[in-house]
Homo-oligomer: A and B are copies of this chain.
Amino acid sequence: MASSTSLNMCSNGAIGACNVSKSQNAFMSFCPDLVGKKLVNCMPICSSADFTPLRNSFPAKPLNWESNGGVSKKFGVPCHVVDVKSTNSFKVGQKFELSDVLEAQQFDRDTLSAIFEVAREMEKVEKNSPGSQILKGYLMATLFYEPSTRTRLSFESAMKRLGGEVLTTENAREFSSAAKGETLEDSIRTVEGYSDIIVMRHFESGAAKRAAATAEIPIINAGDGPGQHPTQALLDVYTIDREVGKLDGINVALVGDLANGRTVRSLAYLLAKYDDVKIYFVSPDVVRMKDDIKEYLTSKNIKWEESADLVEVASKCDVVYQTRIQRERFGERTDLYEEARGKYIVNQNV
């Protein structure tokens, strides 16, 4: 199993030290929360008018949610971009509208920039303002049909750091009415009556989309089987930008189990939004990247190649993204698992 290095981006799918992006995890994970079907009200975070006191008065006084008074969470106002100069194409005060967070390809480059801008501001909130009340009065349900302590707690930490509240289930598959034959759609109809936003982990690819088709509140896909894990990919791209200093023109090696890793799939989709990116796929034969991603990259003019030589690839890359070989995806084929594991090890002292 690979150790991580300073080149190695943290992934929920990777076993290794998460020294780079760990502390931001909560805030990037949170980001999608600024997103609403009829738009969650995020004015105090996003609008330029409201934003000034946010930065000036910290940490003397936590943000007040009072500016939106009695506005229900179901009829929020559109987000606006914060007034920072580095925002690429958004103008200050310009709206961006987002709905559910279901898959990485839903984001365009400008939306990504706007989200990262908010995330940068959120990092300051965490550092300077214990007890922020930005999301006071909002209730998030974490509906996890597959246990995942790291992902679940990252969302819950973000929510609570900002004054919001959480309803949680660690193992909805075993503990809920799902075990009694209830459909996902009926479960969603019930839980949306209790909460303002649902963060869902599921064991089936496409489950988040089915939930979103039913729900009238926003759904965030926190991993759906072998499908995608878009918020993890948002965090990964944010971290790359922060550590490397750019996203255009970077070379990225995606290493490990590329067939079963939903985080690498989502990350490839997001990297395809940038210019002159080159992606190297480095994996054992039995878990090579699937054709759908390769075809998508080609269609977007993103260069990619497969290689078996991690050392040679690493020397050409700005980022090596290392994922775990997931034993649980091999079922009874322990022979294939043994063949795949331990093949590419990134040593912390290289």
* Residues of A that sit less than 8 Å from B by CB: 1, 15-19, 22-23, 25-26, 58-60, 65, 69-70, 72-73, 127-132, 136-139, 141, 143, 147-150, 152-154, 156-157, 160-161, 165, 167-172, 174-177, 179-183, 186-187, 189-191, 193-195, 324, 326-328
Distance A325 CA – B75 CA, assembled complex (angstroms): 39
Distance between A135 CB and nearest chain B CB, rounded to angstroms: 10
Chain B residues with CB below 8 A from A127, complex form: 72
A-B contacts, 18 of them at CB < 8 A, read: A16-B186, A17-B189, A18-B186, A25-B190, A25-B193, A59-B69, A59-B70, A60-B69, A72-B128, A72-B130, A149-B175, A149-B187, A150-B176, A150-B191, A156-B167, A168-B168, A170-B170, A171-B175
**Are A171 and B170 also in contact (CB < 8 A) when A1-B181, A70-B60, A186-B17 are?**
yes
Query: Please, how many angstroms separate the alpha-carbon atoms of A192 and B76 in the complex?
Result: 33
Whether B22 and A193, one on each chain, are in contact in the complex, defined by CB atoms closer than 8 angstroms, is: yes
- Supplied contacts A131-B136, A180-B327, 16 more A-B pairs, CB within 8 Å: A15-B182, A15-B186, A22-B190, A22-B193, A25-B190, A25-B194, A65-B130, A72-B130, A141-B153, A149-B169, A150-B187, A152-B169, A153-B167, A153-B191, A170-B170, A171-B175
A276 to B179, CA, bound (A): 39
Decide yes or no: A147 and B175 within 8 Å by CB, A167-B156, A180-B328, A195-B157 being known contacts. yes
Which residues of chain B are within 8 angstroms of A169 by Cβ–Cβ distance?
149, 152-153, 170
Whether A167 lies near B160 (C-beta < 8 A) is yes
Q: How far is the CA of A58 from the CA of B72 in the complex (A)?
A: 12
Q: How far is the CA of A183 from the CA of B14 in the complex (A)?
A: 12
**The one of B65, B70, B172 that contacts A58, using a Cβ cutoff of 8 Å:** B70
Q: Are B149 and A193 in contact (CB under 8 A)?
A: no
Asked if residues A194 and B59 are in contact (CB atoms below 8 Å), the reply is no
Chain B residues near A143 (CB-CB < 8 A): 149
9 smallest CB-CB distances across A and B, nearest first, come from: A59-B70, A131-B137, A147-B175, A130-B137, A149-B176, A157-B194, A22-B193, A160-B165, A23-B193
Minimal beta-carbon separation of A102 from chain B (angstroms): 22
Closest to A170 in B: B175
Complex partner residue of A65 from B16, B131, B152, B176, CB under 8 angstroms: B131
Q: How far is the CA of A141 from the CA of B60 in the complex (A)?
A: 26
- The residue of chain B having its C-beta at the shortest distance from the C-beta of A151 within the complex is B177
**Given A167-B157, A171-B175, A193-B26, A180 and B15 contact (CB-CB distance below 8 Å):** yes
Report the minimum CB–CB distance from A197 to chain B (whole Å). Answer: 13
- How long is the Cα–Cα vector from A143 to B160 in the complex, in angstroms? 17
* A70 CA / B179 CA spacing, docked (Å): 45
* B-side contacts of A183, CB under 8 Å: 15
Whether B18 and A189, one on each chain, are in contact in the complex, defined by CB atoms closer than 8 angstroms, is yes
Q: Nearest Cβ in chain B — how far from A347, in angstroms?
A: 16
Using Cβ atoms and an 8 Å threshold, which residues of chain B touch A154?
194
Contact yes or no, B70 A15, CB < 8 A: no
Q: Would you call A138 and B130 a contact (CB within 8 A)?
A: yes
| Minimum CB–CB distance for A229 against chain B, Å | 14
Q: Which residue of B lies closest to A325 (CB)?
A: B181
